[in-house]
Amino acid sequence: MIPHVPLGQWVSDLIDWLLDTVPWLFDAISAVMQVLVDGLTDLLVSPPPVVWIVVFAVLALLLRGPWLALYTVLAFLLVVSLELWVETMQTLALVLVAAVIATAVAVPTGILAARHRAVSVVIRPVLDFMQTTPVFVYLIPAVFFFGVGVVPGVVATILFAIPPGVRLTELGIRQVDREVVEAAQAFGARPGQVLREVQLPLALPSIMAGINQVIMLALSMVVTAGLLGAAGLGAVVVRAVTQLDVASGFEGGLAVVLLAIFLDRLTGAFGQRAALSRLRQARAQRSRQGREAAGADSPVGRPPAVGARAVD
């Protein structure tokens, strides 16, 4: 007979203990989150939509090219015509705040995991647990700690989006050529210099892929966050589901998809640009080394032999 292990009761007791012991901590986190989301939402909603459409299109043109710029203009004009501009900007603000905080946690954690095997061993089952936990389970502690509204939605989104950022950052740094790292160490570079000047630049495409996944997971959590009362497209979809309003549900879902494609292509362009920059630097280095080798083999560039006499 196996005795019952009250794991759920232990977790419930832990939540009650935290709420009784450090309520000021959750109040402070809630206040900071609310200010960030409200400030960014006001920034995105205050100007006329055409202002931000032009800004987004210019960004798309610079980072990806004319086709993404054209898509950006058409997609956001469609959002305006659906009268979902405010909800879309509220969603964008929530996603950006959650993605920035998740990235600020994930990238340093991934670096630690890549540089210390013990950290990697400890953190791997935690990431497995976070990635396999059902989405709705994240909502339970978020509601207990922060109540109902946009803040628990942001917190649940952050927790849900962290794992791919950690994994891809660790993978990118581990895949840096060992000989390159050893060459930098042989020239006297300290561990911090090796990380900043060798490992992070070479791992940047993988890190950007992780940030891209963080943003995509944050956006996929938007509808779930709408269940907690978070404003935006998630609230539109949840309201449509509860009222069986197919038209509003389709329009809200379409706006989520349009925003997801824009963010995916835009953040993906950062990684591609990093890869192209890395390729150009490698070609330039090979070209420089080739010229130096050719100069060394040339009779003009070859230094005179020791003991040779000049011919008058």
Per-residue pLDDT in tens (0 to 9) along the chain, 312 residues: 777 888 888 888 888 888 888 888 888 888 888 898 889 989 998 889 999 999 999 999 888 888 989 999 999 999 999 889 999 999 999 889 988 999 999 999 999 998 888 988 998 888 888 888 887 777 777 887 887 778 888 888 888 888 888 999 888 888 888 888 888 888 877 888 888 888 888 888 888 888 888 888 888 887 777 777 778 888 888 888 888 888 888 988 899 889 988 988 888 777 666 555 655 665 666 666 666 666 655 554 444 444 444 433
**Domain of residue 132, CATH code:** 1.10.3720.10
Question: Would residue 222 count as lying in a domain?
Answer: yes
Question: Would residue 107 count as lying in a domain?
Answer: yes
Question: Would residue 72 count as lying in a domain?
Answer: no
Query: In the prediction, which pLDDT does 21 show?
Result: 85
Question: Would residue 60 count as lying in a domain?
Answer: no
Report d(CA 124, CA 38) in Å as an integer: 35
Question: Would residue 301 count as lying in a domain?
Answer: no
Question: Would residue 184 count as lying in a domain?
Answer: yes
Report d(CA 87, CA 236) in Å as an integer: 8
- Give the gyration radius of the chain's Cα atoms: 26
Query: In the prediction, which pLDDT does 307 show?
Result: 43
Range of the domain at 208: 16-46+83-278
Question: Which phi and psi angles does 48 have, rounded to 5°?
Answer: -60, 150
Query: In the prediction, which pLDDT does 275 show?
Result: 54
Question: Would residue 51 count as lying in a domain?
Answer: no
Mention every residue, 6+ apart, whose C-beta is less than 8 A from residue 234. 91, 153, 222, 223, 224, 225, 226, 227
Domains: count for the chain? 1
- For the chain, give the secondary structure using H, E and C: CCCCCCHHHHHHHHHHHHHHHCHHHHHHHHHHHHHHHHHHHHHHHCCCHHHHHHHHHHHHHHHCCHHHHHHHHHHHHHHHHCCCHHHHHHHHHHHHHHHHHHHHHHHHHHHHHHHCHHHHHHHHHHHHHHHHCCHHHHHHHHHHHHCCCHHHHHHHHHHHHHHHHHHHHHHHHHCCCHHHHHHHHHCCCCHHHHHHHHHHHHHHHHHHHHHHHHHHHHHHCHHHHHCCCCCCHHHHHHHHHHHCCHHHHHHHHHHHHHHHHHHHHHHHHHHHHHHHHHHHHHHHHHHHHHHHHHHHHCCCCCCCCCCCCCCC
Question: Is the pTM here over 0.85, yes or no?
Answer: no
Q: Angle CA(248)–CA(69)–CA(51) in degrees, nearest 5?
A: 70
Contact 236, 46 (CB under 8 A): no
Report d(CA 101, CA 298) in Å as an integer: 56
Question: Would residue 157 count as lying in a domain?
Answer: yes
Report d(CA 14, CA 134) in Å as an integer: 21
Query: In the prediction, which pLDDT does 234 show?
Result: 84
